[in-house]
A and B are shown apart, each in its own frame.
Chain A
Amino acid sequence: MNYIQFFDMRPEVALLAVYLILFMYDLVSAGRYRRLFHPLACMLATAMVAVTLSDRSTFTLFGGMYESNAMIVFMKAVLAFGSLLAILQAHKWLRSEHTFYKQGEFYILLLSTLVGMYFMLSARHFLLLFIGIELASLPLACLVAFDKYRHNSAEAGIKYILTSMFSSAMMLYGISFLYGTTGSLYFTDMVQHITGAPMQIFAFVMFFAGLGFKISLVPFHLWTADSYQGAPTTVTAYLSVISKGAAVFTLFIVLIKVFAPMIEEWQTVIYITIVASITIANLMAIKQHFLKRFMAFSSISQAGYIMLAVIGGQADGMTAMVFYLVVYMVANMAVFAVIESIEWKIRGAVRRETCNGLYRTNPKLTLVMTLALFSLAGIPPFAGFFSKFFVFMSAFSAGFCVLVFIALINTVISLYYYLLIVKAMYMMPNEEPVPAFKCDPYIRIELILCVAGIILLGVCSFVYSGIDSISFGM
């Protein structure tokens, strides 16, 4: 075996380097050096994003098990950037009493899931893919239960790990059927034996359920609300954006690389799940009063919109999907950062009523939240409008007019509940609004990055055309 091949995987090597440095630092640092831990982690994560972006070549390794090209690398960089945002957001939480001593574990667990996601994106063999998915899931369970002394967090962790195991079992079951009917686990070999036989349909749905769990599509979404609400807010943000993004991208790749001959079948499956996801999630979201729980349902419906880009399986769909993920990432991270900031101020869960009159005491923070919610709702001229537009366009050009229409109606409903929060912040009277406070400096950096993204991504058309130039499809 040629071990030098390992060094071709530049994103993974960079990630591993950061991982090891932080691990060593955790072991050796003490006293005042401990304070430098967080800045160091942020700097290393930034460097990691830069190194990841620098690689653009197309190649396969290990006999075709691992593939890399410009698009995959870009997606890895997006995930790495999202992790950087999550690390920035974690600062205050990591300095708090119960987490201070296990600060290092947070970075290590977070980066472990990132390694898993990298392999999910690059895997061209089901075994590697499965290992990637598991590597991305198990440490995440630890992160969800990171505040283990808090009842909610522990419960959320348990729920997450149990449903995760359940879905993994389903997926593995499906993969084993696929192996049985095609005789291979390599994507390139399997696609020649996929015919759409009932056994393969069965296997496909099992596999789809496994990834659908990670994307939290209805009906595989039930864990989402409980885990999102219980998990530490930083972890919720990470779950809702990075973990979801990696799973969607992986699903897209598997669909076009392996299940291409079954396009009719998987389009039907995705059709059903899209309609179910956005409608049910929207209906649920209206009734939520806890913002984190509300964001859980919002993220389910957003996942439905992302799937609109997947359904066509074409290159323009991939462009729309990646663009949507980037835009969704900055907006969602901004919302969670604001929620976390308020949480630290009031020392408790944020309800919609908590936000009443926030504008009077914290106008800047309110403005950021408004921009992010507007972007999520898809109001022009913010990036969210453009990303929704491209997603709809790709589904429309694939011939799903009715589906686009249903999604459009749901956009109106989603506008209603996003605006409920905006209304609470600006218009609702409140005797005792959240007092004025200053955000944690790291969160402020994160918010600046996010707001820049929300405003600029839509207007600067080169981002979209840049993604478009490297995307691929069936």
Chain B
Amino acid sequence: MEHTILILALPLLSFLLLGLLGNRMPHRLAGALGTLSLAAATALSYWTAAEYFLAGRTADGTFAELMPYNMTWLPLGDTLSIDMGILLSPISVMMLIVITTVSLMVHIYSLGYMKGERGFQRYYAFLSLFTFSMLGLVVATNIFQMYVFWELVGVSSYLLIGFYYTKPEAIAASKKAFIVTRFADLFFLIGILIYGYYMGTYSFTPPMTELMTAGAVLPAALLLMFIGGAGKSAMFPLHIWLPDAMEGPTPVSALIHAATMVVAGVYLVARMFPLFIGYAPEVLHIIAYAGAFTALYAAIVACAQTDIKRVLAFSTISQIAFMMVSLGVCTGSDPHEGGLGYMASMFHLFTHAMFKGLLFLGAGAIIHAVHSNEKSHMGGLRKYMPVTHITFLIACLAIAGIPPFSGFFSKDEILVACYSFSPLMGMFMSFVAALTAFYMFRLYYLIFWGKSHYEEQLALYRSGECSHEPHKPHEAPWSMTLPLIILAAVTCAAGFIPFGEFVSSNGEAYTIHIDTTVATTSVLLALAGIVLATIMYIRDGSRVTRIVNWALHGPIVAAYHRFYMDEVWLFVTKKIIFNCISRPIAWFDRKVVDGSLDLLAKAVQSAGTLVRPWQSGNIQTYCIWFLSGILIIILVLLYMA
């Protein structure tokens, strides 16, 4: 498995090449370099996966955890050290596949989407850096290496979100994303340090003796780590950065917000799952409740958004929360008894990455065609963009949980896990799933059905009321539609992967079986959501819509404003923290700290003036000082003796 290092090295090399020499390259070469190196890394990932899973299980029925590379990077003590290496386990190999696949699609897609943009090479350099950091995160052999790459992911996402650095909104969004996730990472780091201090290692499998004596420390450390994960995975109330991060180029949204960065938190919890389940099940349940609330919150907000990328952003928050819930409702490590959620979560991560990537890339194609994010500029696009339309519909059906698309299978497993945890949780999540179907089809109808904005504008232009001819929407170039078709194909097929054979909570093979009651109810609920959306949005201004808008006016406005969460955060930071904490500290720093340093500086300055006459320039004086120096030293020595 030595070639695994290349999976990391290729994106890094391509980043260095493009970053250092990109400006001297033509756009095509830069794009080809980035895409080809990632294609090679993707091929290697698939090879690795094939080799890993075909190698067969060990005697105890699990896949062996391999470490093709591990070196001590920074020894801190006898046992404690920071290592760097590559760890292959079922979930890390699965993540390699997910990341490289989606990233490759985004690379190809961007060839068309970003064509002719200023900073094209820089864009590809950042994409490579991001992919490298994300790959390093998932193959980390220990929690500290994970943290290092975790921060690299944060930096590279900052660079990508703020790619259009001349746009003030983009800069604000990138700063917001960085600061919010960084704030959460602070807890992560504290958790890591506590973990390292008490466990004596940063490895994912601490020694048994330390675990036995840890007591309440381990749950505390794990909870802190989860807060870090909640920041990256946009759990309420740390989700505020994600909708704004849509200011980045759309393919970047697809990469960061569908398949990679936002699932890092889920991956973290999954990685630490044996510790959670064995020593801190209560923390796991906290995660479940936090996730359930986030899922509902984001789904409601998504119903009221008008910017299509924001809808997708809130849908992502909601779906990530599904994964978190699924992990959180686990009560044991046997997949047959309480451990199903682990497998379901990873499965959903896998399928969601594909169909959400597809949705974002489809949205990119639409935005590319109509030059706007607002739903009011869309409508009736199905005639103009057939490929995008069909693939988008497939993704919508998948996320709504309609068989045979992949989302159905994974969501079904999650719901089964929730019902086995508690019926209330199951019903709650079923309701959120129905809501998902509703808002996704609302989005779908608003984009592809209803009155065509283009045709309206054209009519106005022809009647002379509008001076400029509207831009006719057109299908995207092949470089953009090809990834859509590939991802759509994957979305159709992925549900039939026997996922439990590869990934399960205790590593043993698990055969997925559909629970007919849960499946039937969830499909019926999803269909109900779709029907409601059809009634309300297939034509503009239907009566039902008007009635609903009138009846629920207040809640809809509140949801449109995301229930004022950003304002709450601004109030907490600007009004409370700035005034009550920062101002006094700033005063102390200016007056007391700086003042005492100024005093010291003045004292040193005047002492300097004092010794200055010594340097007279007169050589006789120099010799006298020389001699007296000798004599003084001799006297001191003799006196001491």
Which residues of the other chain, A, contact B612 by a CB distance below 8 angstroms? 284, 287
B630: contacting residue among A205, A218, A226, CB under 8 A: A205
Shortest Cβ distance from B615 into A: residue: A225
Which residues of the other chain, B, contact A196 by a CB distance below 8 angstroms? 641
Q: How far is the CA of A208 from the CA of B630 in the complex (A)?
A: 9
**Interface positions of A from 245 to 276, Cβ below 8 Å from B:** 265, 268-269, 272-273
The answer to the question of B26 belonging to the interface, with a C-beta cut-off of 8 Å to chain A, is: no
**Interface positions of B from 314 to 359, Cβ below 8 Å from A:** none
The answer to the question of A176 belonging to the interface, with a C-beta cut-off of 8 Å to chain B, is: no
Q: Are B604 and A286 in contact (CB under 8 A)?
A: yes
Q: Are B630 and A416 in contact (CB under 8 A)?
A: no
The answer to the question of A162 belonging to the interface, with a C-beta cut-off of 8 Å to chain B, is: yes
Q: Are A286 and B641 in contact (CB under 8 A)?
A: no
Mark B351-394 against chain A: 1 for CB-CB distance below 8 A, else 0: 00000000000000000000000000000000000000000000
Q: How far is the CA of A320 from the CA of B162 in the complex (A)?
A: 46
State the Cβ distance, B19 to closest chain A Cβ, in Å.
18
The answer to the question of B550 belonging to the interface, with a C-beta cut-off of 8 Å to chain A, is: no
The answer to the question of B58 belonging to the interface, with a C-beta cut-off of 8 Å to chain A, is: no
**Interface positions of B from 169 to 199, Cβ below 8 Å from A:** none
Q: Are B633 and A198 in contact (CB under 8 A)?
A: no
Q: Are B634 and A205 in contact (CB under 8 A)?
A: yes
The answer to the question of A182 belonging to the interface, with a C-beta cut-off of 8 Å to chain B, is: no
Shortest Cβ distance from A276 into B: residue: B629
Which residues of the other chain, A, contact B641 by a CB distance below 8 angstroms? 196, 198, 201, 265
A163-B634 CB under 8 A given contacts A196-B641, A280-B611, A287-B612 = no
State the Cβ distance, A30 to closest chain B Cβ, in Å.
41
A162: contacting residue among B614, B619, B633, CB under 8 A: B619
Q: How far is the CA of A225 from the CA of B632 in the complex (A)?
A: 23
Q: Are A284 and B615 in contact (CB under 8 A)?
A: yes
Which residues of the other chain, B, contact A225 by a CB distance below 8 angstroms? 615
State the Cβ distance, B189 to closest chain A Cβ, in Å.
20
The answer to the question of A331 belonging to the interface, with a C-beta cut-off of 8 Å to chain B, is: no
Shortest Cβ distance from A226 into B: residue: B617
Q: Are A201 and B611 in contact (CB under 8 A)?
A: no
A198: contacting residue among B608, B628, B632, B638, CB under 8 A: B638
Q: Are B636 and A209 in contact (CB under 8 A)?
A: no
State the Cβ distance, A321 to closest chain B Cβ, in Å.
22
Q: How far is the CA of A163 from the CA of B623 in the complex (A)?
A: 7
Q: Are A416 and B604 in contact (CB under 8 A)?
A: yes
State the Cβ distance, B282 to closest chain A Cβ, in Å.
42
Q: Are B608 and A166 in contact (CB under 8 A)?
A: no
Mark B613-630 against chain A: 1 for CB-CB distance below 8 A, else 0: 011010101110110111
Q: Are A219 and B628 in contact (CB under 8 A)?
A: yes
Q: Are B628 and A283 in contact (CB under 8 A)?
A: no
Q: How far is the CA of A410 from the CA of B630 in the complex (A)?
A: 24
State the Cβ distance, B515 to closest chain A Cβ, in Å.
57
Which residues of the other chain, A, contact B615 by a CB distance below 8 angstroms? 222, 225-226, 284
**Interface positions of A from 280 to 332, Cβ below 8 Å from B:** 280, 282-284, 286-287
Q: Are A205 and B637 in contact (CB under 8 A)?
A: yes
A287-B622 CB under 8 A given contacts A198-B638, A201-B641, A219-B628 = no
Give the residue among A209, A222, A223, A225 with the most B Cβ atoms within 10 A: A222
State the Cβ distance, A294 to closest chain B Cβ, in Å.
12
State the Cβ distance, B628 to closest chain A Cβ, in Å.
7
State the Cβ distance, A221 to closest chain B Cβ, in Å.
9
State the Cβ distance, A92 to closest chain B Cβ, in Å.
29
**Interface positions of A from 193 to 234, Cβ below 8 Å from B:** 196, 198, 201-202, 205-206, 208-209, 213, 218-220, 222-223, 225-226
The answer to the question of B607 belonging to the interface, with a C-beta cut-off of 8 Å to chain A, is: yes
State the Cβ distance, B595 to closest chain A Cβ, in Å.
16
The answer to the question of B209 belonging to the interface, with a C-beta cut-off of 8 Å to chain A, is: no
Q: Are B607 and A283 in contact (CB under 8 A)?
A: yes
The answer to the question of A172 belonging to the interface, with a C-beta cut-off of 8 Å to chain B, is: no
A222: contacting residue among B605, B607, B614, B632, CB under 8 A: B614
The answer to the question of A159 belonging to the interface, with a C-beta cut-off of 8 Å to chain B, is: yes
Which residues of the other chain, B, contact A223 by a CB distance below 8 angstroms? 619, 622
Shortest Cβ distance from A273 into B: residue: B633
The answer to the question of A413 belonging to the interface, with a C-beta cut-off of 8 Å to chain B, is: yes
Mark B509-524 against chain A: 1 for CB-CB distance below 8 A, else 0: 0000000000000000
A272-B601 CB under 8 A given contacts A219-B625, A222-B625 = no
Which residues of the other chain, B, contact A206 by a CB distance below 8 angstroms? 630
**Interface positions of A from 132 to 163, Cβ below 8 Å from B:** 158-159, 162-163
The answer to the question of B79 belonging to the interface, with a C-beta cut-off of 8 Å to chain A, is: no
Q: How far is the CA of A25 from the CA of B200 in the complex (A)?
A: 67
Q: How far is the CA of A201 from the CA of B623 in the complex (A)?
A: 21
The answer to the question of B552 belonging to the interface, with a C-beta cut-off of 8 Å to chain A, is: no
State the Cβ distance, A106 to closest chain B Cβ, in Å.
26
State the Cβ distance, A248 to closest chain B Cβ, in Å.
18
A287: contacting residue among B609, B619, B629, B633, CB under 8 A: B609
Q: Are B640 and A268 in contact (CB under 8 A)?
A: yes
Q: How far is the CA of A272 from the CA of B224 in the complex (A)?
A: 52
Q: Are B626 and A286 in contact (CB under 8 A)?
A: no
The answer to the question of A16 belonging to the interface, with a C-beta cut-off of 8 Å to chain B, is: no
State the Cβ distance, B76 to closest chain A Cβ, in Å.
15
Q: How far is the CA of A273 from the CA of B632 in the complex (A)?
A: 11
**Interface positions of A from 342 to 369, Cβ below 8 Å from B:** none
Mark B57-86 against chain A: 1 for CB-CB distance below 8 A, else 0: 000000000000000000000000000000
Shortest Cβ distance from A217 into B: residue: B629
Which residues of the other chain, B, contact A222 by a CB distance below 8 angstroms? 614-615, 621-622, 625-626
Which residues of the other chain, A, contact B626 by a CB distance below 8 angstroms? 163, 166-167, 170, 209, 213, 219-220, 222
Q: How far is the CA of A433 from the CA of B604 in the complex (A)?
A: 30
Q: Are B629 and A219 in contact (CB under 8 A)?
A: yes
Shortest Cβ distance from A201 into B: residue: B637
A269: contacting residue among B617, B621, B625, B633, CB under 8 A: B633
Q: Are B636 and A268 in contact (CB under 8 A)?
A: yes
A284-B622 CB under 8 A given contacts A201-B634, A269-B637, A272-B636 = no
Which residues of the other chain, A, contact B610 by a CB distance below 8 angstroms? 283
Which residues of the other chain, B, contact A166 by a CB distance below 8 angstroms? 623, 626
Q: How far is the CA of A225 from the CA of B619 in the complex (A)?
A: 12
B611: contacting residue among A158, A213, A284, CB under 8 A: A284
A283: contacting residue among B611, B621, B630, B638, CB under 8 A: B611
Shortest Cβ distance from A266 into B: residue: B637
A220: contacting residue among B619, B629, B634, B637, CB under 8 A: B629
Q: How far is the CA of A220 from the CA of B628 in the complex (A)?
A: 10
State the Cβ distance, B151 to closest chain A Cβ, in Å.
17
Shortest Cβ distance from B635 into A: residue: A205
Q: How far is the CA of A416 from the CA of B608 in the complex (A)?
A: 13
State the Cβ distance, B459 to closest chain A Cβ, in Å.
58
Shortest Cβ distance from B629 into A: residue: A219
Mark B481-523 against chain A: 1 for CB-CB distance below 8 A, else 0: 0000000000000000000000000000000000000000000
A205-B633 CB under 8 A given contacts A166-B626, A222-B626 = yes
Which residues of the other chain, A, contact B617 by a CB distance below 8 angstroms? 226
State the Cβ distance, A423 to closest chain B Cβ, in Å.
13
Mark B276-320 against chain A: 1 for CB-CB distance below 8 A, else 0: 000000000000000000000000000000000000000000000
Q: How far is the CA of A466 from the CA of B388 in the complex (A)?
A: 63
Q: How far is the CA of A270 from the CA of B638 in the complex (A)?
A: 15
Q: Are B630 and A209 in contact (CB under 8 A)?
A: yes
- Enumerate 30 A-B pairs (CB-CB under 8 Å) in ascending A order: A159-B622, A163-B619, A166-B623, A196-B641, A198-B638, A201-B634, A201-B641, A205-B633, A206-B630, A213-B626, A218-B629, A219-B625, A219-B626, A220-B629, A222-B615, A222-B621, A222-B625, A222-B626, A223-B619, A223-B622, A226-B615, A226-B617, A269-B633, A280-B611, A282-B604, A283-B604, A284-B611, A286-B604, A287-B609, A413-B604
Interchain residue pairs A-B with the least CB separation, the first 6 = A219-B629, A222-B622, A283-B608, A287-B608, A286-B608, A205-B634
With contacts A205-B634, A283-B604 known, what are 15 further pairs, Cβ within 8 A?
A: A159-B619, A163-B626, A166-B623, A167-B626, A198-B638, A202-B634, A205-B630, A205-B637, A219-B628, A222-B614, A222-B622, A222-B625, A269-B637, A283-B610, A287-B608
